[in-house]
Structure 1
């Protein structure tokens, strides 16, 4: 009997061997498995002293990785002076090497290695993140490269994740209609806000997918990586990811004065670089709830790999309470 494999985890040494065979970067002398999340990420060091990050892309609820668009968008941003970790081509010129594994072929991508520290709580770090994100959006306005497979619209961010969540084995007959109603109200509320702005999104800019480093003048600036979720989408969603990461994601837990001050500093610094319309500002709090639906859908889609207790029933019950609270959430400006 042959067992079906949900997802393999290659060792760092095997990834190093693969990269050495497919990339003209010389001998790999060190390798490290960094993390297993939606993808598997490795750090490699070469005899030349160069370091890179390797990402073994996984199938997601949305489908396969957006490799060609991601590489093209990163090159565009870098060409316009944005600090991003570009994708490195293999010796063949391709931006992904397809690795045969027990579950099927998966794409391996290499990226420039960045040094620095994740965004901290200081005013300088928060402002650097906001300014850097605004610069990405401004540069993205002139992007004319390959199309993205995915668009960060309400189907992608809300409706498809909701469907996946409703099929989760830990979902109950009691909770299912409550999530359906919450999702539908959220969808209708956002449509009622009218036309909202769109940008070329990073897609996951919560402050830990960038480092903050000193520039040539000693000022703090953000350098960005992990563009797996990049694509054209709502500006309000992109801006919602940071406060979503700050605000308590639990029912009946109010945001602290510190959290509110961090959010104010972030949105103020962003607006100093790039304007935000009143409709987009009003939509940000609603898109925080959209972000939570997206995350729940991602967890539901990873059950074959992570197990059903990644989203146990008691956790889902708390999510209903939290999402109801967030229906009236207002962000301070």
Structure 2
């Protein structure tokens, strides 16, 4: 009997053999399976003491992984002094190696290991994260790459995820028109704002995809810098979306969710530090809370597209019912903008 496989999970030892066979790095002496989420991630230690991270790419609702573009982005940012986890080429100079698994071929991409501390709620770290993201956007200007890439526009972030969501197996005839109307109203509200700032987006900058390094400055004070990794959602797109990912991460995604004082303080530290490097336009400020809701639609579409791997109860009916209430509430969501106001930014 032939059984179809949705997604298998190679062991850490198997991934070590793949890396040792296809990368010019010498022996792999230790391996650890770190995480299974949207991708599967492994930590490897080489005989010379170096550490690397292997990412086994999963099938994704947003389309095939754009690995060459991701590698080009990392090379471009590194060349401009932006601290990122660069990708490592295979023995034959490719950006990834394809391996055959029971479900078919999947790609493994290898990256430098980054050291540092988590951003957490430490104000100095959050400010370093905000400054670092602004510097990353500045460094991303002028990228030259002909490789296929994601474009983080409303089709990619909202309309296609909405379609995945509407066709989820647990969706009901009652909820479907409510969620569709919410998504289309959100689309129209953003479109009515006119032209919004575009940047080369990290795509998933919610503070868990960066570390903070601490060094001593000439005067003996701590000098903190954000170092970034996990660029598999990268592409040109809306600055307002990129910045909305962090408040989306902070805001309770529950029916009666309200900003806590701690979450507001973290948002204030982040956006003030960002604007000190790159001021925002009035239109981008207005778009920010709308893109918090866009991010939730994007996530729901990703979940719906992964039902064959995660199961239908990754999105049970009561969860979908809550989403209608949360997204309805978020139609009136506001984000405080401390320090530099929208009017100041548009002068």
Same fold judged by TM-score > 0.5? yes
Shift of 1:146: 3.1
Where does residue 15 of structure 2 map in the other structure?
Answer: 15
Residue in 1 that maps onto 2:247: 243
Distance in structure 2 (CA, Å) of the matches to 1:21 and 1:252:
52
Q: Is the 8 A contact 1:148 1:231 kept in 2?
A: no
1:258 equivalent in structure 2: 262
1:160 and 2:160 are equivalent in the alignment? yes
Q: Offset at 1:149?
A: 2.2
1:109 is paired with a residue whose SS is strand
- State how far apart, in whole Å, the 2-side matches of 1:216 and 1:107 are: 40
Match of 1:64 in 2: 64
Q: Distance in 2 between matches of 1:201 and 1:160?
A: 19
TM-score relative to the length of structure 2: 0.95
In structure 1, how many angstroms separate the alpha carbons of the residues matched to 2:20 and 2:211?
27
* Pair 1:202 & 2:194 matched: no
* 2:49 matched residue in structure 1: 49
Q: What CA distance in whole angstroms lies between the structure 2 residues aligned with 1:253 and 1:84?
A: 34
User: What's the counterpart of residue 273 of structure 1?
Assistant: 277
Counterpart for residue 106 of structure 2:
106
What is the rounded CA distance, in whole Å, between the counterparts of 1:89 and 1:216 in structure 2?
A: 33
Q: For each residue in 1:193-236, what CA deviation from the matched residue of structure 2 results, as whole angstroms up to 9, or x when unmatched?
A: 11000000000000000001113523111100000101100000
Superposed CA RMSD in Å reads: 0.9
SS of aligned partner of 1:117: coil
Which residue number in structure 2 is paired with residue 318 of structure 1?
322
CA distance in 1, matches of 2:288, 2:82: 24
Q: Could you say what secondary structure the match of 1:53 adopts?
A: strand
Match of 1:34 in 2: 34
Matched with 2:119 is: 119
Tell me how many residue pairs correspond in the alignment.
333
Distance, in Å, in 1 between the alignment partners of 2:124 and 2:268 is 13
Q: How far off its partner does 1:257 sit?
A: 1.8
Helix, strand or coil for the counterpart of 2:332?
Answer: coil
Give per-residue Cα distances to partners, 1:77-134, cap 9 Å, x unaligned.
0110111000000010001000111111101000000112221101101101001100
Q: Partner of 1:293 in structure 2?
A: 297
Q: Any conservation in 2 of the 1:68–1:146 contact (CA below 8 Å)?
A: no
Residues 42-87 of structure 1: CA deviation (Å, up to 9, x unaligned): 0000110011000000110122111000000000001101110000
- Name the CA distance, whole Å, in 1 between partners of 2:216 and 2:63: 41
Structure 2 CA distance, aligned partners of 1:303 and 1:216? 48
| Structure 2: gaps (5+ residues) | 338-347
| Cα separation, 2, equivalents of 1:54 and 1:258 | 35
- Structure 1 contact 148–232 (Cα < 8 Å) conserved: no
> 1: distance between equivalents of 2:69 and 2:194?
29
User: CA separation in 2, counterparts of 1:146 and 1:222?
Assistant: 28
Contact 1:43–1:51 (8 Å) recurs in 2: yes
- After TM superposition, give the deviation of residue 254 of structure 1 in Å: 1.1
Deviations 1:138-166 (A, max 9, x none): 01112112344210000000000000011
CA distance in 1, matches of 2:17, 2:172: 46
Alignment correspondent of 1:85: 85
How far apart in 2 are the matches of 1:248 and 1:237?
18
2:256 aligned counterpart, secondary structure? coil
Structure 1 residue runs of 5 or longer lacking an equivalent are: none
**Is residue 230 of structure 2 the alignment partner of residue 231 of structure 1?**
no
TM-score, with normalisation over the residues of structure 1? 0.99
